[in-house]
Amino acid sequence: MRHIKILGVALVTIFVLGMTATSALALPDISLLPKEAFPLDLHFADNSKTPTALEDSFGDLLTGKGIEIALELTALGALGSFTVDALNVKDVEIVEECHTSGNEAGTVLVTGEWHLVPITTTPLLNGIAFLLKNLVLMTCGIDKIDVKGCALAKTTATETKDLTGVPIELGSNGKGQALQREYLNDVPVNVKCILEDEIVGTKKPLEAALVVAEGKAIELVPIAGKAEMFFITGL
């Protein structure tokens, strides 16, 4: 009887371990067609037309017009790097142009890492997480504003076809919260992806949301002359 009990415990343990091993979530990834080679550079630029805003619970903190987004991926499965140039950026309250160090008035440069992530599995929804590597410090007249954290864009790209672009959406609920604030890792558990802004000296950080094109979709497309077609796996 003792041997039967031990066997029973062993079988239960194997079953539980098996369930744990298979419950991990396969994360989406970007692959290239056989004729293509890394790096993959995805790009959006609009000749200073697209409206942008940084919102928090008090409303629009900063507004701009024009944005350039560049995403680079150098290898399969690796984190990519990104740069975002927001143009004609102004502090709404004091009506002063803002800039980051080394940039001209009105230009805010943001850099960091990006990766493709699942937001939900039922229904299936994926996104691109933009992870700021460093604190973004902006000078707006006599004010200084810092931004840190993570922004999550929704994408409708699927794995059913070869792609020549990735549509993304960055919107808010109108109360300073991004529409997408969490994604799933491979455990899977929810990981927060939230921006914070703070007027330097106030010691009052607030949750913030980056809004591009009033929350409508924009499309990142490959730069000509490099990898031009790709597909997504693991969705």
What is the domain partition of the chain in residue ranges?
Answer: 25-233
Residue 123 confidence (pLDDT): 85
15-26 tens-digit pLDDT: 344 444 446 888
Supply the pLDDT for residue 160.
Answer: 64
User: Across the chain, what does the average pLDDT equal?
Assistant: 89
pLDDT in tens, 65-111: 999 999 999 998 778 999 999 999 999 999 999 999 999 999 999 99
Among the ranges given (56-65, 71-80, 130-139), the one the predictor scored with the smallest mean pLDDT: 71-80
Stated as kind and residue range, the H or E segment containing 129 is strand 124-132
Is the model's pLDDT at 43 over the cut of 70? yes
The reported pLDDT for the residue numbered 130 is 98
In angstroms, rounded to a whole number, what is the distance separating the alpha carbons of residues 124 and 48? 33
